[in-house]
Amino acid sequence: MDGVTVIDHPLVQHKLTIMRKKETSTAGFRRLLREISTLLCYEVTRDLEMTMETIETPLQEMQSPVLEGKKLVFASILRAGNGLLEGMLELVPSARVSHIGVYRDHDTLQAVEYFFKAPDDIAERLIIVVDPMLATGNSAIAAIDKLKERGAHNIRFLCLLAAPEGIKSFRDHHPDVPVYTASIDSHLNENGYIVPGLGDAGDRMYGTK
Ligand code: URA
């Protein structure tokens, strides 16, 4: 699928299988989410631009690669996006963090923002927007609308599971934003859940159901 990368690393797929199981505990789900998010982060940052820096080892001077440009921004779509943040920040501790609370009004179809916090200079940074589930795509589309309104233009979207319907809608709205996911599942059900999925990601990570 154009613009969509499925992260099929065996460790990702193994951990995802355990997360999908209904008997996996809240503590287990949360631990696996943290573990899997480091692996997903590794893949979504695989092609970051590098520049050479002159350093001195104990033996001699050398040219050595470092990341080019400003620090990354991880933008979490509340609340389930926060579950992906922890592991990602372990891998990139210097990343900046944005939190976005947004939903799409069913009647007006307008994005309603109830919380937004991000660095001022998001126009100059790569933003990795995270939400475990790309279901209808509505909140991801709305969150990225809000980031773009504030000048962001270098954006990637990372999730754990995606529904084909959500991917289509997302790519129709934001064809410039590549999607990274561990799985494209079968379909959305009438309640907007991804099938076979893993249930409500927020409830499973916070034990709220
Ligand atoms: N959000 C979830 O947490 N789970 C789904 O299956 C769909 C949306």
Q: How far is the CA of 121 from the centre of ligand 1 (A)?
A: 31
Residue nearest to atom 4 of ligand 1 (CA): 200
pLDDT at residue number 111: 67
- Letter for the amino acid at 13? Q
pLDDT at residue 63 in the model: 98
CATH number where 17 lies: 3.40.50.2020
- Determine the pLDDT at residue 102: 86
Alpha helices of 45-174 — where are they, by DSSP H? 82-91, 138-149, 164-173
107, HSE (Cβ side, Cα atoms, 13 Å): 0
Give how many domains the chain has, as a whole number.
1
* 75: its two tokens: 């933008």
Which residue, among 60, 144, 48, has the nearest Cα to 102 in the 3D structure? 144
pLDDT of residue 104: 64
- How many angstroms is it from 72 CA to the middle of ligand 1? 26
Q: Which of 2, 57, 107, 108 is the catalytic position? A: 108
Range of the domain at 173: 4-206
104, 156, 171, 204: the active-site residue: 104
Read out DSSP for 140-186? Answer: HHHHHHHHHHTT---EEEE-SEE-HHHHHHHHHH-TTS-EEESEE-S
Is the pTM above the cut of 0.85? yes
In this structure, the residue with its CA closest to atom 7 of ligand 1 is 193
54 CB contacts (<8 Å, ≥6 apart)?
61, 62, 63, 64
> pLDDT tens digits for the chain (209 residues)?
899 999 999 999 999 999 999 999 999 999 999 999 999 999 999 999 999 999 999 999 999 999 999 999 999 999 999 999 999 999 999 999 999 998 766 677 666 889 999 999 999 999 999 999 999 999 999 999 999 999 999 999 999 999 999 999 999 999 999 999 999 999 999 999 999 999 999 999 999 97
Q: 79: which 2 tokens?
A: 């609340």
CA-nearest residue for atom 5, ligand 1, is 193
